Amino acid sequence: MDEIGFHRCLHRPGTLLDIGAHDGGFTLPLAALPASRVLAFEPLPASFARLRAAVGEAANVTLRQEALGDATGTVVLSVPVVDGLANEQWASIAKTYAGHGPRVAEQRFAVPLRRLDEFALTDLTGVKLDAEGAEYEVLRGGRETLLRCRPVLSIEIEERHRPGATWAVPAWLDALGYDGFFEHWGEWRPMAGFDRSTMQVASPDPTDFRASDPYIFVFYFLPREHAAAMLASLRTAATTTRR
């Protein structure tokens, strides 16, 4: 099951967040879910232009050319440029790409920074988060929203973007009453079963695409008070898919 399958399985009417929307690969499928409203954040100008074109006139999608974090103001967004080509998928407000050798240059953009809590959402039911190392700050800036709305979360967390992130983010969410899981070959496993030494080994160098097999970097978080029932639904869906 992929991230879209996760959100489809556990969908409840309300607002869905696509944080790090890029060019709409998740925004549009989320917008197709029944009675959904999507709030999509993408700070990189080129990606935002493609996102806006892809979304078109969709009435249930709101686009924000902003980054999310734990403060309000302006922040630098860094994009690695490898052999003259911008690697937009690695655009990050959490790190720079200096020091990776002559093949790697860097584009830097000053972009608006907001806190999720500023939006005062009351009907948030699901979050997809891909912030290339800034996941902890994004969640910190949405603490009151998470406590109030109790959405389900799918989060890309990679040690190569932020060393220690696969410890820090789950621990912070645990304190907010969220249970963490990952999926591997249709089996849903608790976060405690994640072995960083074998399941997520990759270089932080944007010129090196080698990675361990398996390479698990998408993690799912369920509000503890509903986790058992939600996990049962996910496991049933995974079994049905395998058939």
Residue 241 has pLDDT above 60, yes or no: no
Enclosing H/E stretch for 28: helix 27-31
Q: How far apart are CA 95 and CA 162, in angstroms?
A: 8
What's the number of domains the chain is made of? 1
Average pLDDT across the chain, whole number: 95
In a domain, 153, yes or no: yes
pLDDT digits (tens, 9 = 90+) for 34-93: 999 999 999 999 999 999 999 999 999 999 999 999 999 999 999 999 999 999 999 999
pLDDT digits (tens, 9 = 90+) for 129-163: 999 999 999 999 999 999 999 999 999 999 999 99
In a domain, 96, yes or no: no
* pLDDT at residue 98, as a whole number: 86
Mean pLDDT of the region 97-119: 94
The residues, any chain, with a CB within 8 Å of residue 214's CB and separated by 6 or more, are 184, 199
Mean pLDDT of the region 15-27: 97
The parent domain of residue 56 ranges over 3-69+114-242
Find the angle CA(130)-CA(48)-CA(28) to the nearest 5 degrees: 65
CATH code, 23:
3.40.50.150
- Greatest alpha-carbon pair distance for the chain in Å reads 52
In a domain, 77, yes or no: no
Report the amino acid identity of residue 14: G
CA 54 to mean position of chain CA atoms? 20
